Amino acid sequence: MDLLGDPRTILQAIGCGPDVANIAEAPVLDVLHIYVTLDETDERLPKLLALLEEHGADGWDIRRDRFTDEELEAAPLLIMSYDINARVFGGPRMGTTYDMSDACKRCGAGARQTSAMIIDVEDLHKLEGRRAATTPYDDVLVDENLAAVLAESGATGLSFRGVFTAFEKRGHMQLPWRQLCATHTMPPMSPRSTGIVPDDLCCCGRSGFDTPTEIPTRLVYRAADFTEIRDINVTWEWFGDTHYEGDVGDALFAYPRFLVTPKVRRIFLDAGVTGFHWLPIHIVDE
């Protein structure tokens, strides 16, 4: 949202201190990005909405379900959402290669990666001091030590690829990181899922979904869909924008979402990784 004046002072006047307000340190186009997280029953919420209206500020209504640690531990699978602050550019436009023989000819859903992950050298600094990161395509990257812990844990459905960066004159250089890959794809989600709506649905039925921020995402599966789950899985559906006209090097792919067991979440938390969001899936009998 946009506020005129010192945002910290303005927000603290309505009781929104650093416990609920996160203000980006670096301004973009002279505008600070401010994120305020409140429960829908919090008495400060109407004050915040009135503040936005008073200042003529632009804001986004982002609604998410919140869960306790006990609820997260009891879930059969969790959606593993990327941390936008630790996102490095990588994928098809950086030279990562894909087998398109079984992919949709229109949107590229089902593309199978065949090379190491190549990331932009300009984003290397974003990996400093971190244990995990992602690409814009929701590819999960972990440092080699965390990769070793995951491998030794016996987590199922897990494989790794190397991570390289491309220098203009020196060629590719391997990094001490690994791409976390899933070997199991879930069946299509139940139509009872909410917050996931067809926007520009591709003829293949796998891409073109939108996740409007004002509706909490609730991914639903049938009980029968869990007979072959692994610790690490991906959705059959692919999310995000897509642009594919036959040239992988110029493609913008949608991507599947990672679904992991609480065991994987515990490994990430034990490694000090706190930047990811974890959202339980729901089960129905159909």
Asked if 90 contacts 118 with a C-beta cutoff of 8 angstroms, the reply is yes
- 3-state secondary structure (DSSP) of residue 177: strand
Q: What is the pLDDT of residue 58?
A: 63
List, in order, residues 6 or more apart from 172 with CB less than 8 Å away: 118, 164, 165, 166
Model's pTM, two decimal places?
A: 0.80
Q: What is the pLDDT of residue 65?
A: 76
Asked if 243 contacts 30 with a C-beta cutoff of 8 angstroms, the reply is no
Q: What is the pLDDT of residue 32?
A: 63
Q: What whole-number distance in Å separates Cα of residue 174 and Cα of residue 166? A: 9
Strand partners, 28: 31
- 3-state secondary structure (DSSP) of residue 270: helix
Q: Which two tokens stand for residue 99?
A: 């087998």
Question: Per-residue pLDDT for the chain (286 aa), expressed as one digit of tens each?
Answer: 445 567 777 777 788 888 777 765 444 445 566 778 777 788 888 888 787 777 666 666 667 778 899 999 999 999 998 766 678 999 999 999 999 999 999 999 999 999 999 999 999 999 999 999 999 888 999 999 999 999 999 999 999 999 999 876 667 899 999 999 999 999 999 999 988 877 788 999 999 887 777 778 889 999 999 989 999 999 999 988 888 888 998 888 899 999 999 999 999 999 999 888 899 999 988 6
Sign of the torsion formed by the C-alpha atoms of 249, 206, 156 and 261: positive
